[in-house]
Each structure stands twice: as C-alpha cells, then as structure tokens.
Amino acid sequence: MTRMTTRRSLLAASTLAFGLTALPALAQDWPTAPVHLFVGFPAGSSPDTIARLVAEPLAEALGQPVVVENKPGAGGVIGVQQMLAQKGDGHSIGITINGPLTTAPRLIPELGYDPQADIAPVGLIATSPLVLAVSADFAAQDAAAFVADASARPGEISYGSVGQGSGAHLTAELFAGEAGVELYHIPYKSYAEVTTAILGGEIDAGFMAPSGALPHVEAGTMKMLGITSATPFAQVPDVPVLAGQAGLPDDFRAELWNAMIAPAGTDAAVIERLNGELQTILADPEIQQKLLAIGWQVQPGAPADLADRIAADTEMWGAVIDKTEAQQ
C-alpha cells in the first residue's frame, strides 16, 4: 500500500516536473511533426488555392511539411469539425472562410462546436468583396437607379444566391435592408448556376465575386453596379463602392474572408509563431499578386483583430438572419 502510494506520488511528481519543464520546450521545438492544414472546400476551390499558396512558404519557415487536408462539405463546416476532431497537439490547424465561424451556429443545427469557445483565431489572410451584377440588358446603369427601380416595384426584382444563408444571400438582404427596398430571393447551388441564370434572363441580379463577373462584363453580357468593399477593389478599380450611395450608409461593408485558425487551447506561443509567419508570407508581393489574381485582397492582422472581426460579423449577419427568418 505504502509502496504503491509512494510509486504513484513519485509518478505524479515526475509528470508534474516533466510537464513544467516540457511546456515551454514544446512551444520552442514546435512543430515536431508535419502540420496538417484543414480546408473545408475541395481541391481547386478558392479557399484551397489560398491554403496551398500559404502552405508552401509556411512549410519552409517551419521546417516541417504542411499537408493540406481537403475535407469539403456543409459550406466549410466539415473542415473546421475535422480540425477540431484531431488531437490538439498544435499540429492540426485550419484555413476557413467566414461562414463556419460567424453564421454557421445560426444555420446548422448540431454544429458540434462553438466558434467563440472552441476556436483560437490565428490571423486574417485575405478579404473579397462582392459585386452587384446584373444582365447587360437590365435598365439601371448604377446602384442608385437599381435602388430606385427596386423601391418603385417592391419584391419584383429577383436575385440569385448560392443558397439560403450563404454569403451571397445575406449580402443581398443586408443591401436591401440598408437601402430600404425589397428584393425577391431565388436560391441556386453554385455561382455557375447564378451566372447562367442572369445571362439567360431567369433572374435580374446577383451578388458575386468580382472575378466571376469580370469575364462576362468584358464580353458585354453583364454589368457591375457596385461593390461591397469600403474602398474600390484593385481587381475592378472602376466599379464604385456601394457605401454612401443609393441611400446606403457610409460604413456599408460586406466582405467574404479567409482566415487561419487553430483549436482553442493551442499553446499561445504556437499561435504567435503562426501569426508571425503568416504576416511574413502575406507581405511577399508575389503572394499578394497571386491572391489578387483570384480575387482576394491580402489583409494581414493580429489574432485579436481576427477575433474582433468574427465577433462583429457574427453580430451583423445574425441581425440579417433574424430579419430573413421573420419574413419567412
């Protein structure tokens, strides 16, 4: 009995001692194994491209391979779930779009995680605004005329989105709410379908990525009436910002973003290291150019900035979801 107690307390003491000395060492030596970067979208998608652009220089900086793990599904939520399901030893991190961290708790029952409690923000990577696109035949030439048209015939102008609660849907509802008009929502499954529907005249409008609309604008079959970023966007510099015009407030802004995250409880030193490497990578003009070519503006920041962004967007989109739910 005594021997057992002794042995047990010895064991406890040694674990404690080992733990005390091991903890700081862990952060210093990290990473000790390949880092798995979870992405909730398939290969070839824009979050995946961003992840691969970041993964290569990150692997070089960390001295360990960075393996991109595509776990697509449920609007990126499965990627976050899979990251959280790994053992939390700091070697499983993720890159995700805004949805799984902001609107998912409202839209997906049995989400299985709480973005506030279970996610440690590492840093914002890049943002992408959406443009208000209409067919070239549509009468309105600018956002003010579009809003005037919409208020003259409430609920008649239709727009497509990539699904109930998607960024495209909520952005359109935010826009309609701020402009004081009523638009008619028709959900599709992909931007490809929305684009086809606008070109074919099945719907009038849609909020979509500038890079998606641009080829059709150049071909003369589509036009862009405004953009949801706070300042003009480098990829389409001629498209006017929506903020401050057509009855919209000056601080109107709706952007999609991609960010790097880790499971909550990841060593603070690891988060700091990752954030530092991320900022270095994003400072590279070549990476910035490559991201811009696929429609993303680099937007580096501290982990706390990302936490603020998550909180602000959760509130903003939450209010829009409240409004659309009340309408149903």
* Residue ranges binding other proteins (CB under 8 A): 42-46, 48-49, 52, 69-74, 77-78, 81, 107-112, 158, 163-165, 186-190, 192-193, 195-197, 199-200, 202-203, 211, 214-216, 218-219, 221, 293-294, 328
Judged by CB, which is closer to other proteins: 275, or 297? 297
Q: Which CB atom, from 24 or from 215, has the smaller least distance to other proteins?
A: 215
For residue 8, count CB atoms less than 10 angstroms from its CB and return exposed for 0-12, middle for 13-18, buried for 19 or more: exposed
Q: Which is nearer to other proteins, 248 or 282 (CB)?
A: 282
β-bridge pairing 66-70 and 35-39: parallel
Q: Select from 180, 309, 197, 311 the least CA-distant residue to 256.
A: 309
Q: For residues 186-196, b (16+ Cβ closer than 10 Å) or e, as one string?
A: eebeebebbbe
In the block, which residue shows the tokens 């490559």?
290
Strands across the sheet containing 205-208: 184-187, 158-161, 205-208, 131-135, 222-227
Q: How far is the CB of 247 from other proteins (least distance, A)?
A: 26
Where do runs of H (alpha helix) occur along 74-127?
A: 77-85, 99-102, 104-107, 115-118
Query: Which of 187, 247 has the CB closer to other proteins?
Result: 187
The least distance separating other proteins from the CB of residue 111, rounded to whole angstroms, comes to 8
Q: How many CA atoms lie within 13 A of 247 on its CB side?
A: 15
What's the CA gap between 96 and 257, in Å, rounded?
8
Q: CB-wise, 123 or 212, nearer to other proteins?
A: 212
Task: Between 103 and 229, name the residue whose CB sits nearer to other proteins.
Answer: 103
What's the min distance (Å) between Cβ of 85 and other proteins? 10
Going through 4-143 in order, the beta strands assigned E by DSSP cover 35-39, 66-70, 92-97, 119-129, 131-135
Q: How far is the CB of 119 from other proteins (least distance, A)?
A: 16
